[in-house]
Amino acid sequence: MAEYWIASRPRGAPEPTDDIRRFIAASRQSARSGQRLRRAALGSIFAFVFSAQQIFTDIYQLGHYFPIAFAAIAIGTAIAGFANSRFVDRLGMRVISHGALLGYVTVSGIMLAAAKLQMLPLPLFLALSALMMFAFGLMISNFTALAMEPQGRIAGTASSLYGSITTLLGIAVGSTIGQNYDGTLLPFATGFFLCTLASLGVVLVVEKGRLFRPHQVAV
């Protein structure tokens, strides 16, 4: 749309500013790389945030202990950040993020199966949620870095655009899952699993079916 506006502006109209040109370049690069779709497909994390209080207070009856349980699950993200800093140079961003994504799909599938069988006690739910947070922490940091890789001098503008679009899409997906809460874990677990499958599908398309390609370090 912005490119069309530049091409069709009236004769004598002022030239677009450098900010507008950077915005257009960032939009083109983001759309071409497809990396922003990866994070957008991870609306599951927003679904967890939107549904957490209902799950812990209505289903598991934790009451005022809810913040403690929520914080305990978030420890997985903190551990992921530390682990990523230790292994990313050795393994590469693609190997770590793709492995974490497959683990994310596996854990969410286990949660869905347990929810359908009504065999998801609080300790198991906490353990699975912490594992998913761990996988999410590994994915989001590396996928974001991969998305910024081709941006070069417009990385600042591209990062802002990337964050805005993916956050808005994630909120839309997460709120849709949260609105389907029916007093059980099944809608949440189903939405979570579908989001992870969508994420895997997008990554397979963007990577042309080749996962775990080593990250090429610039010399």
pLDDT tens, position by position, 169-201: 778 888 888 888 888 899 999 988 988 888 888
Structure tokens belonging to residue 59: 């289903």
Q: 104-146 pLDDT, tens per residue?
A: 999 999 999 999 998 999 999 999 999 999 998 888 878 777 7
Q: 58-77 pLDDT, tens per residue?
A: 999 998 899 999 989 989 88
**pTM (predicted TM-score):** 0.75
- The DSSP result for 96-119, as a single string, is HHHHHHHHHHHHHHHHHHHHHTT-
User: Contact at 8 Å (CB) between 196 and 39?
Assistant: no
pLDDT of residue 20: 52
- Spatial neighbors of 106 by CB under 8 A, at least 6 apart, are none
Residue 1 has pLDDT above 70, yes or no: no
Alpha carbon distance, N-terminus to C-terminus of the chain: 37
Q: Is 212 left (phi over 0), alpha (psi -120 to 50) or beta?
A: left
pLDDT of residue 141: 79
Count of other CB atoms within 10 angstroms of residue 211: 16
Q: 34-52 pLDDT, tens per residue?
A: 455 555 556 778 888 888 8
Report H helices in the chain: 2-8, 18-33, 35-40, 44-54, 66-91, 93-116, 122-148, 155-179, 186-206
